[in-house]
A and B are shown apart, each in its own frame.
Chain A
Amino acid sequence: MAEIAIPKEGLGFGEAIPLRKIGPVERLIGPESYRIVVALLKTPVSILGFSLIAFFVVVALAAPILAPPVNPANPYDIPRDGFRAEPQPMMSVWNREQPPLPVWWGAIMGTDQWVHIMGTSEGQYDLYYGIVWGTRTAFKTGLIVTFATLFVGVLVGSISAYYGGAVDNVIMRGVDIMLTLPFILAALILAAVLTPKIGRSLLPATIALITFGWMGYSRIIRGDILSVKQRDYVMAARVIGVTDSRILIRHIIPNAIFPTLVLASLAIGDVVLSFAALSFLGIGTPIGYADWGQTLSFARNWITSLATYWYIVVWPGLTLVLFVMGWNLVGDALRDVFDPRMRGRGGA
């Protein structure tokens, strides 16, 4: 028997209708968004995805404990064990400039000899260290790029949708033009143009990914705004003379932004992937910076002997795959939740 709630300021006929109990969260984000959140938290696929993401969050937070840096001021520089070209196998002993031993190592292994857990790559960069600190790089770039692209995308998309007509036409053709070049190629060019100007760091690739990454959001938010714009309360606000910017910011965007927000939160996986691709191609971070794409790119010079040095591909590669898969699993569950035909079938 459904619970019957009687609205306090009843409209007269409200008493007869059995109402669902609405919790504070649902009241805050609205029924449609609430349904999506609940369905996501109940699907096994997305639970697996969330667990993977949680694992990486823990690794990123615990990086100084998992792999203590040699120089705490520059933790993203991967420590090197000498300068020899050939990779060293897994569990080989640190010879030179051994970083501080993590506290848990002695407790588990019973020795105070720090080793290359995953081996070293070309030039004796410690793979384990690169992967652990690379997790921080991944979250950092993923979050920055996602927030920035979201901001630009929402701004452009909402202006385009709200004003419509010629403004809309011009902006959307601009978006078409920006989308003409393949994403990775466009980002590659811009990063290559920027690198001599601002030096090798996270910046060129980040700026490039932002510049060519916002168009998807502006298309989605534009569609959602176009439908919200037709609602009566927007008309009412306009009639009583509310300014354009206030209607847009207070009335339209909050009601149209949820799908875009969800998509953006899941785009972090893709952003990290693109960033890694740019580093893999040799654009972006300085050599020896803890970042997964670059760690992988070291393997490019050893392709003929990968049968021996398999660990220089497998560990960083697996890390990247699991990270992206975490976000994709949640995204896959989300696609089902968003699919209107699945509505009323208990979520996923």
Chain B
Amino acid sequence: MGTYIVRRLLLLPVILFGVTVLIFGMVSFLSPVERSALYIRDIPRNDLQMEAAIKAYGLDDPIYVQYWHWLVGRTDAQTGEHRGGILYGDFGWSRTASQPVADLIRNRFPNTLDLTLWAIVPVIAVGIWLGIKAAVNHNGPIDQGGRVFSVIGTSFPTFVFGLMVLMIFYAKLGWFPPGRSSDWASIVIRSEQWRSYTYLLSLDSILNLRFDIFFDTMRHMVLPILTLAYLNWAVFLRVTRSSMLETLRQDYVTTARAKGLPEDDVVNKHARPNALIPVVTLAGFTVVALLGGVVITETVFDYPGIGSAAAQAAQNLDVLTVLGLALFIGLILIVSNLVVDVAYGYIDPRIRLD
């Protein structure tokens, strides 16, 4: 187990380096003027300012020098002020959000985290339940129904499903509005009396003992959660079903049946724990994928997470902001993938031998 973790950790810097090079490669597609936003707020308007900015921040240096400065930032020769440098958490200035990219992430990421935490529960619980039901009733009506459901589920693009549920549950019935919170709730949240303990709105509203705001927040999250759940159920159903079918064919399950155990015990106590091992990884990777910001779902429901921030910036061709967000998302994904992999090694000893 030790060597497995060490091997994964040794690979970490390689992947980190690769991802930063990949993203910086795309940064260097930009003109020097656009790249100046890495260090300063105001994009130079005239030629003179432009020249000065390019000179001051070395925007025409060789590419590897620029990469280094992109990592560690630059110190202003006159004022001694340090600017830029992604290692210092400075991702530059976001033109579309009119704030530093780092602040944009700080404001938006808790919302994505909030959505992820609420969405993952129904996704995993219902997905696994459906998959096991389908496997136990192999080729029965539940199995066939699940199969039809999973083909339809994977065929529905997020944005089509999202727009259709909005059409029904918002435009027609008026139950679940898009966005993050209603106007009256946003006023309370921005006021003096509101205290942010965790920055997760749903949790904070409980801690502030404002259950009306909690209810309002959840009302806004129902449709995104439903969309994410619907799309992921199909995948969970498939993986759980095939893993369970395979486990039910194992000799030890036959033994359990032969010694006269009730079928419920065979399924729940003997087969299910082993069948769920691949599902655990899937669950891990699903959480990771959700954390990475679900670009389309957040955009359709106008939900202010990092995914929709990236989409908005891309739409306005504010590439530097998108790249900053991508870098942040990349870092999150790398670290959490590592955690999932290591956890998987603990759960299933067979993996370590690989």
User: How far in angstroms is the closest Cβ of chain B from A266?
Assistant: 12
Q: How far is the CA of A299 from the CA of B26 in the complex (A)?
A: 31
User: How far in angstroms is the closest Cβ of chain A from B139?
Assistant: 12
Residue B5 is within 8 A (CB to CB) of chain A in the complex: no
Chain B interface helix/strand/loop/mixed: helix
| Residue of A180, A300, A329 ringed by the most chain B CB atoms within 10 A | A180
Give the size category of A's interface with B: 35 or more
Residue B206 is within 8 A (CB to CB) of chain A in the complex: no
Q: How far is the CA of A181 from the CA of B58 in the complex (A)?
A: 29
Residue B244 is within 8 A (CB to CB) of chain A in the complex: no
Q: How far is the CA of A303 from the CA of B295 in the complex (A)?
A: 18
Interface string of A144-183 (1 = CB under 8 A from B): 0000000000000000000000000000011011101110
| Stretch in A34-42, A81-89, A101-109, A279-287 with 4+ CB within 8 Å of B | A279-287
Determine whether the beta carbon of B11 is less than 8 Å from that of A180: no
Q: How far is the CA of A178 from the CA of B315 in the complex (A)?
A: 23
Residues from chain B with a CB closer than 8 A to the CB of A277 are 157-159, 296
* A-B pairs with beta carbons under 8 A, tally: 144
Determine which of A313, A321, A325 lies in contact with B167 in the assembled complex, contact meaning CB atoms within 8 Å.
Answer: A313
Determine whether the beta carbon of B170 is less than 8 Å from that of A185: no
Determine whether the beta carbon of A173 is less than 8 Å from that of B326: no
Interface string of B119-148 (1 = CB under 8 A from A): 000000000000000000000000000010
**Known: A189-B326, A321-B160. Is A281-B296 also a contact (CB below 8 A)?**
yes
Determine which of A299, A325, A332 lies in contact with B163 in the assembled complex, contact meaning CB atoms within 8 Å.
Answer: A299
Q: Please name the residue on chain A nearest to B14 by beta carbon.
A: A173
| Stretch in B102-110, B188-196, B213-221, B316-324 with 4+ CB within 8 Å of A | B316-324
| Residue of B160, B170, B289 ringed by the most chain A CB atoms within 10 A | B160
Q: How far is the CA of A174 from the CA of B317 in the complex (A)?
A: 27
Determine whether the beta carbon of A324 is less than 8 Å from that of B155: yes
User: How far in angstroms is the closest Cβ of chain A from B307?
Assistant: 8
Q: Please name the residue on chain B nearest to A48 by beta carbon.
A: B151
Q: How far is the CA of A194 from the CA of B330 in the complex (A)?
A: 21
Determine whether the beta carbon of B322 is less than 8 Å from that of A332: no
Determine whether the beta carbon of B157 is less than 8 Å from that of A320: yes
Residues from chain B with a CB closer than 8 A to the CB of A313 are 160, 163-164, 167
Residues from chain B with a CB closer than 8 A to the CB of A184 are 295-296
Residue A74 is within 8 A (CB to CB) of chain B in the complex: no
Q: How far is the CA of A77 from the CA of B37 in the complex (A)?
A: 36
Q: How far is the CA of A173 from the CA of B7 in the complex (A)?
A: 13
**Known: A178-B22, A304-B171, A332-B147. Is A281-B295 also a contact (CB below 8 A)?**
yes
Q: How far is the CA of A195 from the CA of B330 in the complex (A)?
A: 23
Residues from chain A with a CB closer than 8 A to the CB of B171 are 303-307
Determine whether the beta carbon of A320 is less than 8 Å from that of B160: yes
Which 3 pairs across A and B sit closest by C-beta, in order of nearness?
A177-B18, A325-B155, A306-B171
A-B contact pairs, 15 of them (CB 8 A): A173-B11, A173-B14, A176-B15, A182-B295, A186-B326, A188-B322, A192-B315, A193-B26, A282-B314, A303-B178, A306-B163, A306-B171, A314-B164, A324-B155, A325-B152
